[in-house]
Amino acid sequence: MTDVKIKIEHKNFESPETGEAKEVIADLNITLKSGEFVCLAGPSGCGKTTLLNILSGLDKNFQGHIELGQSETKPSIGYVFQNPRLLPWRTVRENLELATKATPKFLDSLLATMKLTSEQQTYPEQLSLGMSRRVSIIRAFANDPDILLMDEPFVSLDPPTARQVRQLLIKLWTDRPHTVLFVTHDLREAITLADRLIFLSNSPMSVITEIPVSIPRDERQYEAQVESFRNKIFSDYPEIFGLL
Amino acid sequence: MQQQLRSQVLTSLSILIFFSLWQGLAFFIDSNTLPPPVTVAKVLWREIQTGQLPYHLGVTLLRLIISFSIAMILGCLIGIALGQHKQLNTFFDHWLIIFLNIPALVTIILCYVWFGLIEVAAILAVVINKVPNVVVTIREGSRALDQDLLEMAECYRFGKWKTFAHVIWPQLYPFVMAASRSGLALIWKIILVVELLGRSNGMGYQLHLFFQLFDVTSILAYTIAFVSIIQLIEWLILKPLDQKALRWRR
């Protein structure tokens, strides 16, 4: 794995109704070290999902340069969307087999880590939202991607389920380290997960500041630690308080 | 289980009442224009034994299979294309409305006049009549494709064939089934007219013959045979296909 370099000079969004172009991203420079877990935090609608769509290759209409993985091969991307986007007419196992080239043994181990072994022949409509989210995380990990993009994957989960899935994600990431770009506007979640936080401004989106998370990973389960780090961010960077 | 039994009893009762009403009406009218069900059944059996009915039914079914298959394939391809490309749809939308509104009889006559009283003209007439209906249904399905799932397939590099087979086709399936059902009902009615006007075999030809002979009993016997076959297609092919494809629903 190599470092990921993101440089977006301009990204315009054209309104389908009026046809007016609006600049949503301007002069955005982000570098992710190999195996680093980075959380992007910014206000709703600032263009975070647009950025992930650019990185995943779904949106090619921008000015700039993206460097993911080795240049001679097409980089492999794992994308955990805001909703799980599983094919409802295929079982959990079939969904994973269709989207990945992982060996059956590797899939078995991922399913076991995410506690979904007994659900692999189930159809997505019969799963809870938390389970579907876990399947989409496995799908993203299974291809051994150069970068993992996660777009608020725990939004609309109840707090205990979100906590459980977060813990499983961290276990999976610790076992198989990958470069992760995780979008959220929940600062507590970002502090719990990330090596580094990047705060983004409203449109046109650009980086306001970057803060490394100094709490050791084994201490992030304590809410007091996370809370005090959060308060420190707000006191050091009061402009962030209004953004989230 | 009890509900299934109740449903079977209701179906049997419904059929029994239908035939009783027919029998009662035939008895009341007492005319050759409405023979009782038993007389029709006897003629049906006789026609099966002589081989006449299986032959003509077979010919019509063959025409039905060929024209239905061509119309469905063409209709699906055009429908998907129009649903996916806005400009193409705007261009061909008026053509579609014109073809939808041309009476079936006009298409049949024109095909026979232009190409002669041949098999190809007969099949072509049926196909031209059916394709616009399939296109309209499939176009709606193609427009309603879930963009989120298509993006997922692109992101995970499904490729064209895998995207079609596992993402697009399952979403189009209910629309294809709807087009098949309405198509089957429409096509066999058109085929009979096609055969009546320009073929020397098939159900339509036979019905025309019976009409000239004023043989209502044979007309009803052939109708029962044909409706039974269409019902069998529904039970043995369409319904199992429906159940298999929708097994993932909660």
* CATH code for the domain of A235: 3.40.50.300
Of A90, A99, A126, the CB nearest to B156: A99
List b or e across B33-69, with b for residues whose CB sees 16 or more CB atoms inside 10 angstroms.
ebbbbeebbebbeebeeeeebeebbebbbebbeebbe
Residue A11 lies in a domain: yes
Alpha carbon A42 to chain centroid, angstroms = 13
Phi/psi of residue B24, nearest 5 degrees: -60, -45
Q: How far is A18 from chain B (nearest CA, A)?
A: 19
Q: What is the fold of B37-245?
A: MetI-like fold (1.10.3720)
Which of B149, B156, B157, B171 to mutate to probe the A interface, most A CBs <10 Å? B156
Q: pLDDT tier at B47 (50, 70, 90 boundaries)?
A: very high
B151 to chain A: which residues are within 8 Å by CB? Answer: 58, 81, 85
Residue A109 lies in a domain: no
Global pTM? 0.80
Residue A57 lies in a domain: yes
Q: How far is A86 from chain B (nearest CA, A)?
A: 7
A97 to chain B: which residues are within 8 Å by CB? Answer: none
Residue A114 lies in a domain: no
- Cβ-Cβ contacts under 8 Å for B100 (sequence gap 6 or more): B132, B133, B136
Domain interval for residue A30: 4-76+145-241
Question: Torsion-angle region of residue A47: left (phi > 0), alpha (psi -120 to 50) or beta?
Answer: left
Residue A189 lies in a domain: yes
Domain boundaries, chain B: 1-30, 37-245
Q: How far is A71 from chain B (nearest CA, A)?
A: 18
Residue A194 lies in a domain: yes
Residues found in chain A: 244
Residue A224 lies in a domain: yes
Which ipTM did the prediction report? 0.86
What's the pLDDT tens digit per position in B127-177? 999 999 999 999 999 999 999 999 999 999 898 999 999 999 999 988 998
pLDDT greater at residue B250 or residue A236: A236
Of A98, A123, A139, the CB nearest to B166: A98
Q: Is B135 helix (H, G, I), strand (E, B) or coil?
A: helix
- pLDDT greater than 80 at residue A61: yes
pLDDT greater at residue B139 or residue B240: B139
Q: Do A58 and B149 touch (CB under 8 A)?
A: no
B165 to chain A: which residues are within 8 Å by CB? Answer: none
- Tokens standing for residue A99: 């989207």
Write down the H helix ranges in A129-158: 129-142
Q: Do A99 and B148 touch (CB under 8 A)?
A: no
Q: pLDDT tier at A70 (50, 70, 90 boundaries)?
A: low
**CB proximity B244 to A under 8 Å:** no
Q: Is B123 helix (H, G, I), strand (E, B) or coil?
A: helix
